[in-house]
A = this chain, B = another copy of it.
Amino acid sequence: MKYNVVIDCLGSDKGPEAIIEGAIKSLNKFEGLSVTLAGPKDLIVSKMNEANISSDRYLVLDAAETITNYENPTVGIMSKPNASLVQAFKEAGKDEYIGVISAGNSGAILMGGLRFLSTPERTRPCMGAVLPNAKGGFTMLVDTGASVDVGSSELVSFARLGTKFMRNLYKIDSPRVGILSNGAEKGKGNHLVKETYPLLEEAEDINFVGNIEGNMSLAGECDVLVCDGFAGNQVLKNSEGMAKLLITEIVKYSKMNNKPELMEVVGYLMSKYDFSSLGGGILLGVRKPILKCRGNSDSAAIVATVQMLINFAEGASVYSK
């Protein structure tokens, strides 16, 4: 199979080199892959030549500008036509591409998605993350940080987008939707949760299972966990931080007590809970897959993200109607 993917080369904390390196590793790994890279042309071409990548496997959209974490994403998208993210998202609209990858900031990806890859209905997109849960399955968390100030109607829409994703991609007939709250009981929650709860209950196309407390967020009690992007960002990043903290503790303990045999469990946990290799977030509610890599992505994360795009293209597409 042939797959054509657009990659935004700017936006990573580790510089364009890490992303270009990831693109090269992906080209070496996936035979049918071609990439279009938006970023500094000279650097890209020289890296590709160094790696002996044939010029018929890649295109370059020359772009040196970037939308930083310090600027308003909407303004950035509108005022910087030469930003790599804008170039990448515009190009990704063409039929030949299966999707686009960017390590840019969530807000810019959201606004870029809305501007260049929006659905005919112009649904507000949301950023999701598929996380491993305690029951051995996966829970999709929406939103993870693209929309930090939202109302109840957006949360209901996020619930629908997550439901569609888990149904199409994970083949779950009727995905269970929970809302993140500060207690399991009905009636617990901040204003937003209390306002959203009855709307989710009433929606006939949503299999609502009620409030989910933070300690149960990855317990596997729901397939889709809905929340505003601020709270979702805490769940996502706190889970990552805690996993790292505990894994580091085991490494320290192993060294201090001279027990190298403990390191095998570190390998096991890393393979399952290394969030940086999970391939980042997925923008839902757009015409084709937009995948966000973490700001600190290395080349391996890029390869994992390309793999995810190929999985999407091979599976039933959640993005088709």
Contact = CB atoms under 8 A, between A and B. Distances in A.
Q: Provide the main secondary structure of the chain A interface.
A: helix
A312 interface: no
Nearest to A257: B264
Interface stretch (A2-10, A39-47, A90-98, A233-241): A233-241
Contacts of A265: 250, 253-254, 262, 265
A314 interface: no
Nearest to A148: B190
Contact of A238 (B183, B242, B244, B245): B242
A70 B185 contact: yes
Given A69-B188, A148-B182, A234 B238 contact: yes
A272 interface: yes
B243 A246 contact: yes
Interface string A226-269: 00111101111111111111111110011000010110110011
A70 B182 contact: no
A181 to B, nearest CB: 8
B261 A237 contact: no
A214 B237 contact: yes
A218 interface: yes
A213 interface: yes
Contacts of A272: 249
Interface in A176-191: 180, 182-183, 185-191
A77 B244 CA distance: 42
A40 B244 CA distance: 45
> How big is the A interface, by class?
35 or more
Nearest to A182: B233
Contacts of A148: 182, 189-190
Interface string A166-209: 00000000000000101101111111010000000000000000
Contact of A237 (B213, B243, B247, B250): B213
B234 A249 contact: no
B180 A234 contact: yes
Contacts of A299: none
Nearest to A193: B230
A182 B230 contact: yes
A152 interface: no
Interface string A267-305: 011001100000000000000000000000000000000
Contacts of A99: none
Given A69-B183, A182-B229, 5 more contacts: A69-B185, A190-B228, A190-B229, A230-B231, A250-B269
6 contacts: A148-B182, A182-B237, A190-B229, A214-B236, A253-B268, A259-B264
